[in-house]
Amino acid sequence: MEGEIRKLPLIGEKAPSFKAQTTKGVIKFPEDHKGKWVVLFSHPADFTPVCTTEFVAFQKRYEEFKKLNCDLIGLSIDQVFSHIKWVEWIKETLGIEIEFPVIADDTGRIAHLYGMIHPGKGANTVRAVFIIDPDGVVRAILYYPQEVGRNMDEILRMVKTLQISDENGVAIPANWPNNELIGDKVILPPPSDEKTARERLEKAKAKEIECFDWWFCYKNL
């Protein structure tokens, strides 16, 4: 509605809950995926070239996502019959079986709930990506326009690096594991007091860690 203020999901918040029909049956989200990472992504429409390349790319990496304890879930505002026919076409024509579920959001309810429809880009969903952790918390959000296909390796990298960050209490540099300054090493959180800052430099002298300065220290995983 005109003038309506929509509260979209934000990083660090619980993912909005919904029940929906998918190509693999009815799901309750995120409750059915508790304990697992999830990549929830929208595509503009079935039977479109860029979306087809994306689904093939996601499927090609499906086993890699599974190794990270991560489920893939697609969504568009098409009906489930369209989804079923499209994934059948992909299998029959391209020889690729889509193993992950695709949500049929023909009313647009879920798309609006997650901010996947941007009126300035039309009535279809844009290419939104929500990475959600095992506790149902939104950890990352990506938006691509309809005319640009996503980089699935980056999405896979994001899931991997979020897990590394959580498990080790570290930050991940740009382009990891091929960062231009520190390669595949990870960054230590900056000190919160003078004592810790001095200790960082002492550890650097002892070759326990490496530092450019007290606020920029890094180490091997």
Backbone conformation region of residue 163, classed left if phi is above 0, alpha if psi is from -120 to 50, else beta: alpha
Positions marked catalytic:
51
CATH number assigned to the domain with residue range 18-150, chosen from the 4 options 3.40.30.10, 3.40.50.720, 3.50.50.60, 3.30.470.20 = 3.40.30.10
Q: What's the predicted TM-score (pTM) here?
A: 0.93
Q: Which residues of the chain are under the pLDDT cut of 50?
A: 1-3, 5
pLDDT in tens, 124-172: 999 999 999 999 999 999 999 999 999 999 999 999 999 999 999 999 9
pLDDT in tens, 169-185: 999 999 999 999 999 99
- CATH T-level fold of 169-221: Antioxidant, Horf6; Chain A, domain 2 (3.30.1020)
Q: Do domains 18-150 and 169-221 have the same CATH topology?
A: no
Domain map (residue ranges) of the chain:
18-150, 169-221
The residue count for the chain: 221
User: What is the phi/psi pair of residue 149, to 5°?
Assistant: -75, 150
What does the alpha-carbon distance between residue 16 and residue 109 come to, in Å, rounded to a whole number? 12
